């Protein structure tokens, strides 16, 4: 009888802890989601000098709509992966530098897009905005597929306990499909916003990702068993038949 009560108590405490973890994770995710929404809005609408920036509203819808859906799916299906995605503290100095420069470019790119709208520097045709919007959503789908395939996916460069090399699906085509999806997102953003000048800023992101990949692969070869052999099997880092 005592053993039965002990098991029931353990199950109750485990369930309670899971619920507390889920609530804390949801609040953390919601906080970062709202902070990102406010920050992007300020970076776009303040330089534009108006709320009537249709490209900004389109971009916000394309970015934060699927983001909310994806976050809810991860919260329900894979809270551990969501926790990893919400963590962004890099341990290596080189990676911290890449993240810092990326944040700076991100900020400058949005401000330039807003100023572009205010002063009418660019004339981006509607068909280009439509194609960029489709590419943006395609990149989101690729991103979701990468997260489905790789349970070890993290925003920081690290090798986790028990981690194994993933070589199926998109990982059988390129070694870093997440960075491919990220590049498509970044390069389509300024076109959705209607700014060729902002595209010149965002075009620097793939170069930063190349630096990040080289540093990350050196760490993976050193610390992840089987990665050196995987690198020999899958030749391309991010772009099939190119690099």
CA distance 43 to 110: 6
pLDDT tens-place string over residues 23-51: 777 777 788 888 889 999 999 999 999 99
Q: Count CA within 13 A, CB hemisphere, residue 140.
A: 20
Confidence of residue 86 (pLDDT cuts 50, 70, 90): low
pLDDT of residue 5: 45
Backbone angles phi, psi at 42, to 5 degrees: -65, -40
pLDDT tens-place string over residues 186-237: 999 999 999 999 999 999 988 888 888 888 888 887 877 888 888 888 888 8
pLDDT of residue 155: 52
- What does the pLDDT average to over 123-148? 91
Query: Distances in Å between the alpha carbon of 145 and those of 163, 187, 229?
Result: 19, 20, 24
- What does the pLDDT average to over 126-145? 92
Whether residue 230 contacts residue 164, with contact meaning beta carbons closer than 8 Å, is answered with no
Q: Average pLDDT, whole number, for the chain? A: 81
pTM of structure: 0.78
Return the beta strands (E) in the chain as ranges: none
Report the alpha-carbon angle 175-217-200, nearest 5.
75
Asked whether residue 9 carries a pLDDT value surpassing 50, the answer given is no
Report the alpha-carbon angle 159-160-164, nearest 5.
80
CA distance 88 to 35: 15
pLDDT of residue 12: 41
Asked whether residue 159 carries a pLDDT value surpassing 60, the answer given is no
Region class of 241: left (phi > 0), else alpha (psi between -120 and 50), else beta = left
pLDDT of residue 17: 42
DSSP 8-state code for residue 50: S
DSSP 8-52: HHHHHHHHHHHHHHHHHHHHHHHHHHHHHHHHHHHHHHHHHTSS-
- What does the pLDDT average to over 63-75? 82
Spatial CA neighbour of 209 closest among 165, 157, 163, 169:
157
For each of the domains in the chain, give its residue range(s) and CATH number, in order of start. Answer: 2-233 (1.20.120.1630)
Asked whether residue 111 carries a pLDDT value surpassing 70, the answer given is yes
């Amino acid at each position: 009888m005592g053993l039965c009560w002990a098991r029931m108590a353990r199950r109750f405490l485990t369930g309670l802890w899971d619920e507390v973890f889920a609530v804390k994770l949801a609040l953390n995710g919601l906080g970062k989601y709202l902070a990102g929404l406010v920050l992007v809005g300020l970076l776009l609408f303040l330089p534009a000098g108006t709320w009537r920036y249709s490209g900004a509203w389109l971009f916000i819808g394309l970015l934060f709509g699927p983001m909310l859906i994806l976050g809810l799916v991860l919260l329900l299906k894979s809270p551990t992966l969501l926790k990893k995605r919400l963590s962004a503290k890099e341990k290596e100095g080189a990676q911290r530098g890449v993240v810092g420069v990326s944040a700076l470019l991100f900020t400058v790119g949005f401000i330039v897009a807003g100023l572009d709208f205010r002063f009418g520097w660019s004339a981006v045709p509607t068909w280009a905005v439509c194609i960029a919007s489709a590419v943006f959503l395609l990149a989101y789908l690729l991103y979701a597929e990468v997260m489905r395939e790789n349970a070890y996916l993290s925003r920081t460069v690290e090798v986790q306990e028990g981690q194994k090399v993933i070589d199926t699906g998109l990982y059988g085509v390129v070694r870093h499909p997440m960075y491919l999806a990220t590049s498509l997102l970044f390069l389509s953003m300024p076109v959705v916003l209607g700014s060729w000048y902002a595209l010149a800023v965002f075009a620097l992101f793939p170069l930063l990702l190349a630096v990040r990949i080289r540093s990350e692969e050196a760490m993976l070869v050193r610390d992840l068993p089987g990665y050196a052999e995987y690198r020999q099997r899958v030749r391309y880092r991010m772009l099939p038949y190119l690099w």
